[in-house]
Amino acid sequence: MRELDEALFLWINGWVGKFTPMDEVMKLIASDYLVPVTLALILFALWFAGTDLGTRERYQIGIVVAVFAVALANSSIEVLNNFYFRDRPFLNHEAELLFYRPTDSSFPSNSAAAAFAITGSVGLFHRRLAIVIVSLAALYAFSRVYVGVHYPLDVLGGAVFGLVAVPIAAVVVGVMRPVLLLSLRWMRLMLVA
Amino acid sequence: MGTSTALVSFAFDYYLMVVIAAAGTLQIASVLADIRGLLLFRNTVVGYSFGISLVLFGYLLFFATAERNVNDTLGGLDGNVQFVLFLLGAITATLLTFVVSSVLNRRMYEVSNVTDGLETLRRTTYLKAVLVRLRSIRS
Residue among A79, A170, A86, A99 at smallest CA distance from A140: A99
Q: Which of A63-67, A163-167, A187-191, B11-15 has the lowest mean pLDDT?
A: A187-191
d(CA A156, CA A142): 10
Res B1: pLDDT: 55
Q: For chain B, say whether A189 makes contact (Cβ under 8 Å).
A: yes
Q: For chain B, say whether A101 makes contact (Cβ under 8 Å).
A: yes
DSSP string, chain A: -HHHHHHHHHHHHTTTTTSHHHHHHHHHHHSSSHHHHHHHHHHHHHHHH-SSHHHHHHHHHHHHHHHHHHHHHHHHHHHHTTT-----HHHHS-----S----S--SS-HHHHHHHHHHHHHHHH-HHHHHHHHHHHHHHHHHHHHTTS--HHHHHHHHHHHHHHHHHHHHHHHHTHHHHHHHHHHHHHTT--
Longest CA pairwise span in chain B (Å)? 58
Q: Which of A53-57, A107-111, A155-159 has the lowest mean pLDDT?
A: A53-57
Q: For chain A, say whether B2 makes contact (Cβ under 8 Å).
A: no
Per-residue confidence band for A143, with pLDDT thresholds at 50, 70 and 90: very high
Cα distance between the two ends of chain B:
58
Q: Inter-chain contact A191–B114, Cβ cutoff 8 Å?
A: yes
Among chain B residues, CA nearest to A29: B69
DSSP state of B111: P
Percentage, residues of chain A above pLDDT 90: 96
d(CA A183, CA A176): 11
Q: Inter-chain contact B62–A33, Cβ cutoff 8 Å?
A: yes
Per-residue confidence band for A174, with pLDDT thresholds at 50, 70 and 90: very high
CA distance A171 to chain B (A): 23
Q: For chain B, say whether A24 makes contact (Cβ under 8 Å).
A: no
Contact B62, B13 (CB under 8 A): yes
List chain B residues with pLDDT less than 70: 1-2, 115
Task: Enumerate the residues of chain B whose CB falls inside 8 A of the CB of residue A49.
Answer: 29, 32-33
d(CA B131, CA A99): 52
Burial environment of residue B138 by CB neighbours within 10 A (0 to 12, 13 to 18, 19 or more): exposed
CB contacts < 8 Å between A and B, how many? 101
Task: Enumerate the residues of chain B whose CB falls inside 8 A of the CB of residue A30.
Answer: 69
Q: Inter-chain contact B33–A33, Cβ cutoff 8 Å?
A: no
Q: ipTM of this predicted complex?
A: 0.94
Q: For chain A, say whether B28 makes contact (Cβ under 8 Å).
A: yes
Percentage, residues of chain A above pLDDT 70: 100
Mean pLDDT across the stretch A117-125? 97
Q: Where are the domains of chain B?
A: 3-138
Q: Inter-chain contact B77–A32, Cβ cutoff 8 Å?
A: yes
| Residues in contact with B7: Cβ distance below 8 Å, sequence separation at least 6, in sequence order | B75, B76, B77
Q: Inter-chain contact A53–B119, Cβ cutoff 8 Å?
A: yes
Percentage, residues of chain B above pLDDT 90: 76
Q: For chain A, say whether B57 makes contact (Cβ under 8 Å).
A: no
Task: Enumerate the residues of chain B whose CB falls inside 8 A of the CB of residue A109.
Answer: none
Residue A91 pLDDT > 80:
yes
Cα distance between the two ends of chain A:
48
